[in-house]
Structure 1
Amino acid sequence: MKIIILGIALLIITITSCDSPTEVIDNTQPGRRDYVWSVDTLDPGPDNATSMFEMWGSSPTDIWLVGSGYSMIHAIWHYDGIEWKNVVPDENIACLGLWGFAQNDIWMGTTNSQIWHYNGLKWRKYGTYPYKDFDEVYIERIHGQRPDEIYAVGFASKNNGSYTAVIMHYNGSRWKYEEFVAVEEIFGNVVVDRNTNIPIIRSLDFNSTDQRNVIYKYQNSTLTELYRGGDKISLGNIAGEAIVVIDRIETLKDKTLYSFNGTSLVKYKDFPYMNFVGNVTGRNSNDIFCSTSEWHLGHYNGTDLKDLIQTNVSIARILLFEKNVFVWGRDVDINKDKIFHGRLE
């Protein structure tokens, strides 16, 4: 079970489908591409290693990267605009989900049923949240549009290998588990859609061989399937809208992006015959960043998809600010976490 859990924690894949799609029209100006790039490598020192899981930041001078390491010293890193430094928590934890709203309001989930909060000065354990008779809870992702309306997803597991999906909700004062019909699946990602404030959840159903990828909407204590199948998918966001990327034939071409209209998935944009992989993050429909094949960071400006830089990392997260881009992933050659920083002059 531990091996399965580790594999799940590193998966960044999703799924979705739609009938009679309607394409979104956007007259926004093309995004710029003249970034000046630099790169940092997390270095925990001799005989140590990091395995980061999530990145979030309030500004280009306040970026957090969390995961796990050989010791608790290396589980949390912070960038102040100049360099990356270790931030040591009070307990030895392995970090998972990370999301915030300001420099002094950041939430983090762990592999041992805990949620932590950063108040601008210190990371503090907000609470431990056991789920029914399960032994551990893995809080994989956290997301929300408002500080008093946040969702966290993951799964609870038992030592005998059984597990169930979980959803948590924060109402501005406390976290609690949502009640819904139990599903033996792994909830691996959530994006609360900006337009509807409805959580869109990516799930993995390991009990199925050809229908294991699932997309749900969660509303009024009810999970509603938006897609279930075997296509390769990923979940991202463009300007706060939940975006699902579908690769129906599992090739590097013919991708379709879908958004959510409150009821179902609708076509957002086609990427025919483009070298597009996933990890969609955008400021608008003409300023979209993504990963492409051969370890590149790609950019779509409304006309074409172009590789900006060759990262040599498996891109896991892209953060966008007005004139800054941060791209984090794991370097496959040296087995270290790298962060690429692009700046517009």
Structure 2
Amino acid sequence: MKDSLRHHCSSAILLFFSLAILSLLDLGCGKPNSLAPEDPSIPGRRDYVWKVDTLYMPVNPGESIWGSAAGDVWVCGTGGPAGQGMQHFDGRTWKALDVLVNGFSIFGFSKDDVWMGSNDGQILHYDGREWTLNFDFEVDGTHFVDICDIWGSRPDDVYACGFILYKTSAYEPESIKGFVLHYDGNTWKEVCRGDFNSQFLSVRKSEGKIFVWSFTFQDYNNSDIYYQLTNNGKLEKLFSNSISKIIMGNNLIMNGKVYFSIGYNFFRYEDGLLVKVLSVDNINYGYCCYGRSERDIIIRMQDGLAHYNGTDIQYIYHSPSPTMIIIAVPVILEKDVFFLALDRGKTLVLHGKLND
């Protein structure tokens, strides 16, 4: 169990294997990974030209992808030997970098302001020249601390979340607690820790409100739960469902609004209500949506990618292999998209570019 939690915190994948449900769930979406079109009322285009790159990450796969531009894309993973856990794309080629951490989550604001969370409580920062340790979240009496997600609304308002696996005796149940950290431009501070067994998988902020997606497990009654974090560090449950009802998905920020993928539906959260944007009536739906606007949404499928333009849904990419799994939050730019995928141990990047 400990190894399972550590290896795929970003997707909580091994917690779902035994249930034979879609693996490698994704988390959220944030800027500048997602750029709004000039006019969100115009249906999004579908004329992508696709290229697939295979990254050299032989020991463990990529976990997270982020980019500020088509010539500045990062992929981090759970590592192996030096130089195999971090890759950077300059618009032409991918290059392995020697960063001696196991990266689980990556996010930034520009080419010289990038954050990465690791699987041992460390948060690193890239200033355009080098990666340096910025914060080490140390908790006594633990096996490890994982940073599952990192996201920010601006450089002085950055959040990170994850989970702490506490040490217990052989006769005690494992104790796992989710947490949320905040960076104000100077220092990192813990703002919330769950008092129940949980993994905090994603954190986003919209209109001053902080939203946390958690996988919670109590006495084998597993649930996906969305919370709102209050000013006093308390979690207020927004909605939840048991894993048996297959509530899976992500939360993303699009044009300043927060959206939730829940089951086969995609909602906008507004004034405390869930407003349905679309439903995906397809057995191959991958339970995650991303986009530039409500008329330009890319939908993860188990066999590729589909697109919703405000009217209908059509495939825009078909996976060439039945074992390919699209994972992680994609990079969505004005004319380019980058999706991270796995196929039989290989780490792939699907690069889609709109025709000029």
C-alpha contact (below 8 Å) 1:211/1:228 kept by paired residues? no
What TM-score, normalized by structure 2, do the two folds share? 0.83
Q: Is 1:153 the equivalent of 2:161?
A: yes
Given residue 165 of structure 2, which amino acid in structure 1 is its aligned partner?
A: S
C-alpha contact (below 8 Å) 1:243/1:280 kept by paired residues? no
Residue-by-residue CA offset, 1:279-315 (whole Å, 9 max, x unaligned): 311100000012123x211111111111111134311
Q: Is 1:281 the equivalent of 2:293?
A: no
- Cα separation, partners in 2 of 1:72 and 1:243, compared to 1, 3 Å: farther
C-alpha contact (below 8 Å) 2:177/2:193 kept by paired residues? no
Q: Is 1:184 the equivalent of 2:197?
A: yes
Deviation at residue 42 of structure 1 after TM alignment: 0.6
Give 2:42's aligned residue.
29
- Structure with larger RCO (C-alpha < 8 A, sep 6+): 2
Q: Is 1:320 the equivalent of 2:338?
A: no
Residue-by-residue CA offset, 1:124-171 (whole Å, 9 max, x unaligned): 111212125434211110111111111110011123332211110001
Given residue 169 of structure 1, which amino acid in structure 2 is its aligned partner?
A: H
Given residue 323 of structure 1, which amino acid in structure 2 is its aligned partner?
A: K
Aligned residues: 317
SS in structure 1 of the partner of residue 83 of structure 2: helix
C-alpha contact (below 8 Å) 1:62/1:79 kept by paired residues? yes
> Where does the alignment leave 5 or more consecutive residues of structure 2 unmatched?
13-23, 28-38, 169-173
Give 1:81's aligned residue.
91
Give 2:310's aligned residue.
302
Give 1:3's aligned residue.
3
Question: How large is the Cα RMSD of the aligned pairs?
Answer: 2.2
In structure 2, how many angstroms separate the alpha carbons of the residues matched to 1:157 and 1:27? 43
Given residue 228 of structure 2, which amino acid in structure 1 is its aligned partner?
A: K
C-alpha contact (below 8 Å) 1:145/1:197 kept by paired residues? no
Residue-by-residue CA offset, 1:230-272 (whole Å, 9 max, x unaligned): 242211423453321122xxxxxxx22122225x341141315
Aligned equivalent of 2:228, options 213, 217, 229: 217
SS in structure 1 of the partner of residue 142 of structure 2: coil
What TM-score, normalized by structure 1, do the two folds share? 0.85
SS in structure 2 of the partner of residue 29 of structure 1: coil
Deviation at residue 207 of structure 1 after TM alignment: 1.3
In structure 2, how many angstroms separate the alpha carbons of the residues matched to 1:75 and 1:181? 30
SS in structure 2 of the partner of residue 3 of structure 1: helix
In structure 1, how many angstroms separate the alpha carbons of the residues matched to 2:131 and 2:239? 37
In structure 2, how many angstroms separate the alpha carbons of the residues matched to 1:260 and 1:168? 23
Give 2:301's aligned residue.
292
- Share of identical aligned residues, percent? 28
C-alpha contact (below 8 Å) 1:210/1:229 kept by paired residues? no
Give 2:216's aligned residue.
205
